[in-house]
Amino acid sequence: MAEFSVDPYVHLYARRTSGMSASEVRALFAVASRPDVISLAGGMPYVQALPPQDVLDVVTQVLTEQGNQALQYGDGRGMPSLRERLAMLMREEGTPADPEDMVVTAGAQQALDLVGKVLVDPGDEIAVEAPTYVGALSAFSTYEPTFVQVELDHDGMIVERLEEALLRGARPKFVYTVPNFSNPAGVTMSRARREQLIALCREARIPIVEDNPYGLLRFEGEPEPTLRSMDPQNVIYLGTVSKVFSPGVRVGWAMAEPGVLHRLVLAKEAADLCGSSLNMLVTERYLSGDRWRVNLRSLVEIYRSRCAAMIAALEARFPADATWTHPAGGFYVWVTLPPYFDSQALLAAGVERRVAYVPGTAFYADGRGKEKMRLAFCFPTEDDITEGVRRLGLLLADEEDLYRSLSG
């Protein structure tokens, strides 16, 4: 293929492509996949814990019993039998769910893109948590919005800050939130905050987009009700099987009221006609019976132990004035360093010391967060977590010594 020093098609690109940028998380994967680097960066489920025979059984059964259907085009909304199973997953968290109110997507990431495509015009405002999921920022940015960032704390989104933004004149098309074990902060929105958010958005006639990939990964405490269960008329719900089964099957879903759902389906069909029939049938078969519950319990115990290992290592190795969240589930710990640290600038030095993380700047629409970092405990072993945090701790200690020597 010929190489060009100047892109010959640059004058042809749509204006909206100027808002597209490579995810800092994706850019890290090439480095973090090196066998000598301990990656605390990627939020990859520990699929190695899935019994291989369970997966082989469901794939074999689908191809043997439903092979013609599995290899053919399918329903643009997703197979009805799968939608029944996905509704079952929602009911596990106490959320009433009608399969007729659902469209199956290629992971929750496609659902985010469809929401942006259906609801956002250039210049529209979207309210997001600060920090928020980098994939949501990427998906929504394509449609050229303005982000209204709402700070969060250990109880999730600070709803008073959203209310203040509305009083100043903000009019977001929707509020996007990851209320359970948020990515990246690992915090869970309290019941009081959920009630406050529901009431505020209902009064202001602003829909809520609830992204709930981690809700079934609780290893501590009692579950909070989903926002969808509290106000189904005003909450668009996004789910995925990536964390309870496999990200490789690329099965997610969106649940919304009829008008929004109809447009999501049209946008979905325009993008890809339909999802993979094979993947949908494999997922439906896996979620039949109890094998998924047994495997999920094992996974949650693994994540519990790995989270504890990370917290213990942080307490032993990180600067005394650093702080971090204490998640009750999910994949992530969010670290706040003293303000003189720059986690983005330090990343190359971290990789040189064979450890990777995600700088906090990835999770803010305006690039703030240089003193923050996201550490993922889901994939590395407890020994690797302990060693990875040790390596990071040594790097931070050296950086702190340098800062103190230069500042006198």
How confident is the model over 357-377, as pLDDT tens digits? Answer: 999 999 999 999 999 999 999
Q: Are residues 200 and 271 in the same domain?
A: yes
What is the CB neighbour count within 10 angstroms for residue 258? Answer: 9
Taking the C-alpha atoms of residue 376 and residue 123, their distance in angstroms, rounded to an integer, is 34
* Tally of domains in the chain: 2
Q: In terms of C-beta density within 10 A (0-12 exposed, 13-18 middle, 19 or more buried), how is residue 132 classed? A: buried
Other C-beta atoms closer than 10 Å to the C-beta of 249 total 21
pTM: 0.94
> Domain ends where: 229, 264, 289?
289
Of 5-19, 20-34, 268-282, 314-328, the least confident: 20-34
* The predicted structure's pLDDT at residue 402: 82
Neighbours of 338 (CB within 10 A): 15
Q: Are residues 58 and 153 in the same domain?
A: yes
Categorize the per-residue pLDDT at 1 as very low, low, confident or very high, splitting at 50, 70 and 90.
very low
In degrees, rounded to 5, the angle at the alpha carbon of residue 376 between the alpha carbons of residues 190 and 290 is 75
Mean pLDDT of the chain: 94
Is the pLDDT score of 39 beyond 90? yes
- Residue 4 inside a domain? The answer is no
Q: Which CATH number do you get for residue 267?
A: 3.40.640.10
Given 289, 323, 355, the domain boundary residue is 289
pLDDT at 25 over 60: no
Spell out the residues 6+ positions from residue 25 whose beta carbon is closer than 8 angstroms to its own: 41, 42, 43, 134, 135, 358, 362
pLDDT of residue 189: 98
Would you say residue 103 lies in a domain? yes
Same domain, 66 and 28: no
- Residue 93 is part of which domain span? 52-289
pLDDT of residue 106: 97
Check whether residue 101 and residue 139 sit in a common domain.
Answer: yes
Q: Domain for residue 5, yes or no?
A: no
- Given a cut of 70, is residue 32 above it in pLDDT? no
Domain C-terminal end among 289, 313, 329: 289
pLDDT the model gives residue 28? 59
- The C-alpha atoms of residue 240 and residue 126 are separated, in whole angstroms, by 22
Alpha helices by DSSP H, listed for 236-376, are 258-272, 277-286, 291-317, 343-352
Give the range among 21-25, 124-128, 205-209, 241-245 with minimum mean pLDDT: 21-25
Classify residue 400: in a domain, yes or no: yes
91, pLDDT greater than 70 = yes
Number of Cβ within 10 Å of residue 35's Cβ equals: 6
pLDDT tens digits, 46-76 = 999 999 999 999 999 999 999 999 999 999 9
- Evaluate if residue 382 carries a pLDDT over 70: yes
Residue 3 within a domain: no
Residue 311 sits in the same domain as residue 388: yes
Residue 2 lies in a domain: no
Both 38 and 135 in one domain: the answer is no
DSSP H or E segment with residue 166: helix 159-167
In this prediction, residue 6 carries a pLDDT of 78
Amino acid identity of residue 66, one-letter, is: Q
Nearest to 169 by CA among 196, 204, 198: 204
